[in-house]
Every structure is written in structure tokens, then in C-alpha cells.
Amino acid sequence: MKCKACGALNDADASFCKGCGIKLESSECNQCGTPAEPDALFCSKCGSKLGANDSVEGKTCQSCGFINSAGTMYCHRCNQKIL
């Protein structure tokens, strides 16, 4: 899996980039949980955009994947700043 932040190549099952340490995007759909191919743009089951920051409920934390309410500045799960 290629890191979108630094371009380093990581193992397909890696959670964090070995080059820069950022959390790698989940290999499953945030909406329905269906496993996804690493290069897929949309979920094959529900059609949701994979790796999207915006969701119907609000903002997805880039650090832990938790979906926070719209307008939230810090994640309710991990307290990281939401970009």
C-alpha cells in the first residue's frame, strides 16, 4: 500500500506508514465495513467513497477513523485535531 502523504510503499496489512508514521487509510469501507482493495475508490457493496473525509454524519478523524459530528475540531475518540 502506497502512503498518500510521503509515497512510501507499505505492507498491505500495515496500519501506519513506515516512512512517515501517519495512519494509513483503512482497507475497509467506513460506512458498511466491507473489505476493500487498496486501490479502490468506491465500496463494491454500498458504493460509498472510500477514504472520504466527509460523511453524512460529519467529519472522519484521519488518525483513528471515528466519525465525529459536523463542526467538531477535535476527535471525540482520540482527541486529535480534525483537518
Q: How many domains does the chain have?
A: 2
- Give the amino acid at 61: C
pLDDT digits (tens, 9 = 90+) for 10-69: 887 788 889 999 888 767 777 777 888 767 888 888 887 876 544 445 788 888 888 877
Residue 62 placed within a domain: yes
Between 36 and 78, the more confident residue is 78
User: Same domain, yes or no, for 35 and 2?
Assistant: yes
Burial per residue of 45-71, b for 16 or more beta-carbon CB atoms within 10 angstroms, e otherwise: eeebebbeeeeeeebbbbbeebbbeee
For residue 58, the Cα-to-chain-centroid distance in whole angstroms is: 14
Domain that holds residue 70: 53-83
User: Same domain, yes or no, for 35 and 57?
Assistant: no
Instruction: Specify the pLDDT at position 26.
Output: 63
Instruction: Specify the pLDDT at position 54.
Output: 45
Cα separation, 15 vs 12, whole angstroms: 9
Instruction: Specify the pLDDT at position 12.
Output: 73
Quote the pTM value: 0.38
For residue 21, the Cα-to-chain-centroid distance in whole angstroms is: 14
